[in-house]
Amino acid sequence: MTGASNRSVERAFRIVDELAENGGGRVSELADRLEMPVSTVHNYLQALVETGYVSVDDKEYTTTTRFLEVGHRQRHRLEVFQAVSDELQDIAAETGEHVTLMVEENDQCVIVAVQEGPDAVNLFAYPGARMPLHAAAPGKAILAHMPDDRVQEIIDRQGLIEMTNQTITDPDVLFDQLEEIREQGYAIDEGERIAGMVCISAPVLDKSDEIRGAICVCGPQSRIDEARRAEIADIVKRSANVTQVNLDYV
Amino acid sequence: MTGASNRSVERAFRIVDELAENGGGRVSELADRLEMPVSTVHNYLQALVETGYVSVDDKEYTTTTRFLEVGHRQRHRLEVFQAVSDELQDIAAETGEHVTLMVEENDQCVIVAVQEGPDAVNLFAYPGARMPLHAAAPGKAILAHMPDDRVQEIIDRQGLIEMTNQTITDPDVLFDQLEEIREQGYAIDEGERIAGMVCISAPVLDKSDEIRGAICVCGPQSRIDEARRAEIADIVKRSANVTQVNLDYV
DNA sequence: AATTTCATTCGGGAGAGCCGAAACACTTCT
DNA sequence: AGAAGTGTTTCGGCTCTCCCGAATGAAATT
């Protein structure tokens, strides 16, 4: 855990991040943004091209499909992803809304899979997208099934960043809600991450009650009234349960 | 184009490749396989963890969802992927088979998107998966719309590797087929990559007649007779055409 | 308790990466 | 055309960083 680092590795991935962020770039442009000498950036890009993870076409450098490949291979091995199988598609068809499978990684809530129902609003949601745990229904569902001290550690490290004026920023309020989530078996967020959106999410636990992820349905508040919420809550709870059972057979 | 390399970058990605290949690994295991000193591998893993692209849980190192993220962001910016929009899904529903969008990258044929129809056989096909251009219908469709000298370069660099006893390994035969593909507007492969599978694919060209990718339907030979092939050929040609038109509006 | 296996830390030496400067390739002015 | 501007690529010597053997620490196994 000492900072046994490696400058080259760090820089290489900073360049990759920058390429991903802007969908590619040229030598001097990147050198500018990263505040590195052009020749250095040039060297790195050359090295990255040799690895096959970056390619260059007419001086424009971009990441390659290698990232897709590595990402999908890893996802394919993720048990909860295998266990959820067709559930997301079924929920999307049944609710018409935007459905996601999410997991925790490095103190954050990450989308693993997305399925858009016929009426889904266009969210900027793609596999790998990250968000704070406290500001989203699936994140809260996940936190609710972690030990309290682990939750506290995450709060200490990450803080409770405000994403909308509805975001929970008070630890006490958060802990109270986590208690409530455990009782009712699902989490709900009313514009806490994106104004005007309501998300309903159920946690997926394994047989040792370890939290593995959460299934989440998102839609505009206008379309999802009290009765519809209860309906969706039942659906996500049912699917989370099916997924839990499937976990034993992956 | 000089070998302006960087050992650290190369090694870092070799480790990533190894992790992706085996779905994770431990220090000494990786050191063994990569023939590097354990302490060195340890240092690299440490550095990779710091970048966020690798994570460690109880001494087991794995790639993180960062790869998914970078991969999906890049894919989202790929024009042909945007242009194909719901076509893959439509074809999958219509044919019931396995449908893919493929592009050329670094002399290879890469899957960009997959859609499985209700009767699809279970292929080991995921976004980012790679295969030789000459041994698959989409690859041949792509080659057919490259300048001949570029095709020759690819043959020179990559060879015509035999994947089944049906694979084309003679350049002359290949060039003849490419001519035929250009005439009929689609490519077909009969167990040239996977024994017992037939794949039918149409090229997607942009308005400058530049090749952008290919749409492909795969299924077992037993289920796809002469008449069905003609039917599927029409479908992929139609979709490729729709995609071409969409290319102007992305 | 002893033994094996594996992860982690340490540190001195060597070689690898670093980056300024110069050369080169292309555009866009005057 | 020529000149000036913009950005990429090559070069090379100095320095600093990565490298890896060896020692230590931590766990599992006998």
Selection from A218, A174, A170 nearest residue A196 by Cα: A218
- Cβ within 7 A of any strand D atom: A 5-8, 26-29, 31, 38-39, 42-43, 45-46, 59; B 1-2, 4, 7-8, 11, 36-40, 43-44
Q: Give the pLDDT score at B4.
A: 60
How many beta-carbon contacts under 8 Å exist across A and B?
Answer: 184
- Please choose, from the candidates B72, B193, B75, B79, the residue with its C-alpha nearest in 3D space to the C-alpha of residue B138: B193
Enter the tokens of residue B16: 């990533």
Neighbours of B195 (CB within 10 A): 12
**Cβ–Cβ below 8 Å for A20 and B105:** no
Chain B nearest-CA residue for A44: B6
Cα separation, A208 vs B42, in Å, equals: 31
Mark yes or no for CB contact A127/B72 under 8 Å. Answer: yes
Q: Does the pLDDT value for residue A82 go beyond 70?
A: yes
Q: From the CA of B38 to the C1' of C1: give the distance in Å.
A: 28
A3 pLDDT above the threshold of 60: no
* Residue A4 binned pLDDT confidence (cut-offs 50, 70, 90): low
Nearest-angstrom CA–CA distance, A15 and A24: 10
Fold type of domain B7-63: Arc Repressor Mutant, subunit A (1.10.10)
Q: For position B119, what pLDDT does the model report?
A: 93
Average pLDDT over residues A1-8: 70
DSSP A163: S
Q: Which positions of chain D lie under 7 Å from any protein Cβ?
A: 7-12, 17-22
Residue B201 C-alpha, separation from nearest chain A C-alpha, in angstroms? 21
Q: Which pLDDT does position A124 carry in this prediction?
A: 87
pTM: 0.93
The CATH H-level superfamily of B71-247 is GAF domain (3.30.450.40)
Cβ within 8 Å, pair B10-A44: no
Q: Which nucleotide is nearest to A9 (CA to C1')?
A: D18
Give B20→chain A minimum CA distance, Å: 6
Rounded CA–C1' distance between B107 and C23, in angstroms: 32
Token code pair at residue A217: 């349905």
User: Are residues A219 and A198 in contact, defined by beta-carbon separation less than 8 angstroms?
Assistant: yes
A68 touches chain B (CB under 8 A): yes
A63–chain B Cβ distance below 8 A for any pair: yes
- pLDDT of A56 strictly over 60: yes
Which 42-71 residues of chain A approach strand C with CB closer than 7 Å? 43-44
Closest CA to B121 of B136, B100, B142, B101: B100
Nucleotide nearest to B7 (CA to C1'): C16
CB-based contact, A85 to chain B, within 8 Å: no
Kindly list the strands in the beta sheet with B130-132, ordered across the sheet, starting from the edge strand earlier in the chain. Answer: B130-132, B108-116, B98-105, B211-220, B197-205, B187-190
* Minimum-distance nucleotide, CA of B11 to C1': D18
B55 touches chain A (CB under 8 A): yes
- What are B147-200's pLDDT values in tens digits? 999 999 999 999 999 999 999 999 999 999 999 999 999 999 999 999 999 999
**How far apart (Å, rounded) are the C-alpha atoms in residues B136 and B108?**
11
Do the domains B71-247 and B7-63 match in fold? no
Q: Coil, strand, or helix at residue A104?
A: strand
Distance of A58 CA from D1 C1′ (whole Å): 28
- Contact status of B64 with chain A (Cβ, < 8 Å): yes
- The ranges assigned to domains in chain B are 7-63, 71-247
% residues pLDDT > 70 (chain B): 98
- Cα(B126)–Cα(A245) distance, rounded to whole angstroms? 25
Q: Cα separations (Å) of A128 from A217, B65, B81?
A: 17, 5, 18
Nearest chain B residue to A116 by CA distance is B86
Residue type at A212 in one-letter notation:
R
Q: Strand C positions with any atom < 7 Å from protein CB?
A: 6-11, 16-21
Residues A93-109: pLDDT tens digits?
Answer: 999 999 999 999 999 99
For the segment B73-77, the average pLDDT, to the nearest whole number, is 95
- Classify B216 as helix, strand or coil: strand
| CA nearest to A54, candidates A27, A31, A84 | A27
**Mean per-residue pLDDT, A223-236:** 96
Residue A6: which of B16, B43, B52 has the nearest Cβ? B43
A16-39: average pLDDT: 91
Residue ranges of B 100-159 with Cβ closer than 8 A to chain A: 103, 105-106, 110, 112, 126-130
Q: Say what the pLDDT of residue B1 is.
A: 44
The first and second tokens of residue B2, run together, are 């000089």
